[in-house]
Structure 1
Amino acid sequence: MQSRKLLVKTCIGDLVERCGFYPLNGGKLDLAKSIIATFPSLSVQVAGQGEGFEHFYDPASHSGFLEIKLHNLRCNLQQEERRYRKRKVTSDQGETHTFNATETENDNTTNE
């Protein structure tokens, strides 16, 4: 288990260095497949289905060890480094709700 954690930490460190904290799904999928190609003993098929890399990154559910590590790294980012920001919205009843809003880099226009 410790060796798997170290492997995931090292691989994610390299991926973040090359692609940033929000890599594309293809990059995460390629990384998961290359881990299994390099270390075939880490392949795990659940109920006999899949190719064996899905516990590292499952593109269908966007989950796995790699995604968890990325999520944990993103939690410690400074506000200006984040792609998603928490915003507070007040409803008509005066209740305050917090939700995650997507902020795109190229969206500098305002709705009038």
Structure 2
Amino acid sequence: MHQGLVAVAIENENKQEPGIIALYRSDSLELITTYPAGALPDMVSFSKDGQYIAAANEGEPNADYSIDPEGSVTLIDLKSGPLDAVVTQIDFREFNEATPVMVNCLRTSYFSSERNRRARPGA
């Protein structure tokens, strides 16, 4: 919840199909809008400044694993307002062929650059 808005992850009736993120007013529970998400959206959070909503999409397989959607992240940019939001689906395909060494290097690089960015004045 952020400043009177509540974001809710809603899975599709068929859990292997894309779900939605619904945005409601907290005072009246009026539906404002919905955004497309990946398969089985979960763990919805607003950024601290309320300009983004992020949701983890679990992507669980069906019982016999004949359909196995990939996990992903839905990022909703609210800077232009809830009705003009930009929705981005982020997948992890580039990690499919990654070796443990590559993944460790990526983590180290990301966290080092993030730490450096925070250390700079005005960042």
Larger helix fraction of residues: 1
TM-score (norm 1): 0.25
Larger radius of gyration: 1
